[in-house]
Amino acid sequence: MTSETARFDAFVVLGARLNAQGRPGRIGRMRLTHALTVWQEQGSQAYVIITGGPTHGTGLTEARAMADFALAWAAEQWNPELCARLARRLILEEKSHNTLASARHTLPVLLGLGATHVALVSDGLHIRRAHYLFRRHFRPHPVNLHPLPAPGVLRIYWQNRRYFWLTKIALREGGAWLKLMARRALFWR
């Protein structure tokens, strides 16, 4: 079963940085709209878990800001009944400050829901490391993870000539992989 044909019990949408106004940035919005589009196409019965802890200076969590955006986006796109269903299916995980913490805090929620087929939603640069960390943490549990990258992140940054930001994102992700591999070599035996 591939990510395109799988029926998901839950979608885990990984948090992303908020902008100065306390709203999700471009990457967070792309992750959310992709997850919500697939959620609707699959019958809108799955849970949507949004992760992300408090951000610096805003007093708001990434998860709360992303949920507010998701509900506002849904109100513009869908009928009121579908928006109400989304509101009932949204679950916020507001403790995580990084991807590994998201895996740790999301697992008990998924097990409590009885979710066995879970879509992990992030962007194309981040999805491989996120999938690796979630798989590693979920290994002893009956949860099948399906990576579901939001399409177009790299293309949009490239087309808009956001080379600095694209470089910054790639270097940050590369550094996170190096840190992960070093930690694994030193501590995970």
Are 157 and 128 part of one and the same domain? no
Are 78 and 125 part of one and the same domain? yes
- The answer to whether the CB of 52 falls within 8 A of the CB of 122 is no
**132-169 confidence digits (pLDDT tens):** 999 999 999 999 999 999 887 766 655 666 666 667 77
**50-72 confidence digits (pLDDT tens):** 999 998 777 799 999 999 999 99
- pLDDT at site 5: 56
Asked if residue 76 belongs to a domain, the reply is yes
As given in the structure block, the two tokens for residue 8 are: 């998901």
Chain centroid to Cα 31, Å, comes to 6
Asked if residue 1 belongs to a domain, the reply is no
Structurally, how many domains does the chain consist of?
Answer: 2
- The answer to whether the CB of 13 falls within 8 A of the CB of 46 is no
Taking the alpha carbons of 37, 39, 42, 44 in that order, is the dihedral positive or negative? negative
Asked if residue 5 belongs to a domain, the reply is no
Are 56 and 110 part of one and the same domain? yes
Asked if residue 42 belongs to a domain, the reply is yes
Asked if residue 4 belongs to a domain, the reply is no
- pLDDT at site 2: 46
Are 140 and 157 part of one and the same domain? no
Range of the domain at 16: 10-151
**120-130 confidence digits (pLDDT tens):** 999 888 898 89
Asked if residue 143 belongs to a domain, the reply is yes
When the pLDDT of each residue in the chain is averaged and rounded to a whole number, the result is 87
Asked if residue 178 belongs to a domain, the reply is yes
Asked if residue 3 belongs to a domain, the reply is no
- Between 35 and 175, the higher pLDDT residue: 35
Are 113 and 181 part of one and the same domain? no
CA distance 95 to 62: 10
Are 105 and 119 part of one and the same domain? yes
CA distance 121 to 165: 21
Taking the alpha carbons of 93, 94, 96, 99 in that order, is the dihedral positive or negative? positive
- Between 186 and 91, the higher pLDDT residue: 91
Are 108 and 184 part of one and the same domain? no
- pLDDT at site 1: 43
What is the pTM (predicted TM-score) of this model? Answer: 0.83
